[in-house]
Amino acid sequence: MKTLIKVERAKLNMTQQDLAGAVKVSRQTINSIEAGRYVPSTILALKIAGVFKKTVNEIFELEKTD
């Protein structure tokens, strides 16, 4: 799954730690999601999208392999 978290974070000048704090997960979890090593649950995906005031589809994109 492709994610635009890094781009959205950069737009808001947010660190991984800031985002992690906002959605109550560890910084390493955000790092793993950004790197594509971990696919978040629906609830976490909705929370992340909520921080950026976007829909989940705007933040996460399915790839051919998914």
By CB under 8 A, residue 32 contacts another protein:
yes
By CB under 8 A, residue 37 contacts another protein:
yes
By CB under 8 A, residue 17 contacts another protein:
no
By CB under 8 A, residue 25 contacts another protein:
yes
Residue of the chain from 14, 22, 29, 51 that contacts another protein (CB under 8 A): 29
Contacts of 12 (CB under 8 A, 6+ apart): 52
Give me the amino acid identity at 10: A
Dihedral sign (CA 58, 3, 27, 9): negative
By CB under 8 A, residue 14 contacts another protein:
no
- The tokens describing 12, both together, are 């808001």
